[in-house]
Amino acid sequence: MSNVTIGISEIYVTNKPNEELITYSLGSCIGVTIYDPVAKIGGMIHYMLPLSKVSPEKAKTKPGMFADTGIPTMLKSLFGMGAIKDRLIVKAAGGAQLMDQNNVFNIGERNFLIFRKLMWKNNILIKAADVGGSISRTLRLEMNTGRVTIKTGQKVKEL
């Protein structure tokens, strides 16, 4: 198994069964895995912000920075590789309130809300999510099985 690290604002899509996709330090950011178990095609995004209108120029060069540009980009890549919408298994993690204890900006909450709206508008169900709270998470997707795990501190659980 070879690890592929997905950095902040990155999108990665693959059909290689020997890869394990991983992203670290999901605080207010959201990590999303999308997997087609029949075609064995999947991907991951680690986005920072909900809406690209705050920086349209940045969205053009780094669509993975924002939910509203990154999620559609990822879906197009998955469909282009042969994934079928009705088979997609979607899971998400992150959206914590780490540095905003007074809930002034609610970035984590807004990040997840926009993601849910995007999935709803595209008629795609979210199978599982581990979001909110005040903890950082690590997200993994095993391409050979589609298994998704979340690590918080020393605890690992399947999502």
pLDDT at residue 44 in the model: 98
Task: For the chain, report the end-to-end CA distance as a whole number of angstroms.
Answer: 20
CA distances 24 to 7, 50, 88, 93, 100, Å, are 8, 19, 23, 11, 19
State whether the Cα torsion 26-9-80-125 is positive or negative.
positive
Query: Domain limits of the chain?
Result: 2-158
pLDDT in tens, the chain (159 residues): 899 999 999 999 999 999 999 999 999 999 999 999 999 999 999 999 999 999 999 999 999 999 999 999 999 999 999 999 999 999 999 999 866 555 556 899 999 999 999 999 999 999 999 999 989 999 999 999 999 999 998 999 999
Q: Which CATH number applies to 2-158?
A: 3.30.1330.200
User: What residues are labeled active site?
Assistant: 29
